Chain A
């Protein structure tokens, strides 16, 4: 079974703090994604990566950055957290040529 692991299930941070969300997949997938899930807004793509050291902006990249130094790990960084970044963050991975996303369990971030 594909396993996508997000390091923190629940985080509480203060406005202005730097936040790191880590994601690791164990199936050697080339593609990794970060989505944000908010009630009534569905899943919105923040950033994605098709290869190590490669990153592309999704639909809502403002206020976020990412890092992919190793194939299995994709990190989402909030340089200066704001209250409007309170949300559920979902990491996903996929193989090239298949399209199916395998999601992690999510990281619920609260920014006070």
Chain B
């Protein structure tokens, strides 16, 4: 089955700095890579995703890059703010016949943004 490794497990940055979280996956057939944010005491929510037909995707201060050859993908957060403090999970999945997905998650990164 798929195996997703995520690093670092904790990350502390100063407000305004950038943060980068990296993930690697094992199954070369995986083609969907979402990122979820979980604030303290709340449910995980999707913040951005990328599919294997593109190398980069941006949404305001967050971006995700994908290197299919190396089987790794990264989340980049620029101009970090205290409200970015949360646990971030990467995930990988392949979809069979364009239909169903089964996500395998990384172990998470606790991001702390210090004011």
Contacts and interface: CB of A to CB of B under 8 A. Distances in A.
A100 B34 contact: yes
Chain A residues touching B, majority SS: loop
Nearest to A59: B1
Contacts of B106: 42
Nearest to B2: A59
Interface stretch (B12-20, B56-64, B75-83, B97-105): B97-105
B101 A99 contact: yes
A96 interface: yes
Interface residues of B, number: 26
A104 B43 contact: yes
Given A42-B105, A42-B106, A97 B98 contact: yes
Contacts of A98: 101
A90 B87 CA distance: 15
Interface of B: 1, 6, 9, 32, 34, 36, 42-46, 49, 89, 93, 95, 98-108
Interface of A: 30-31, 35, 40-45, 48, 50, 58-59, 90, 94, 96-101, 103-106
Given A30-B100, A97-B98, A97-B99, 9 more contacts: A31-B100, A40-B9, A42-B105, A42-B108, A43-B108, A101-B46, A103-B43, A105-B43, A106-B43
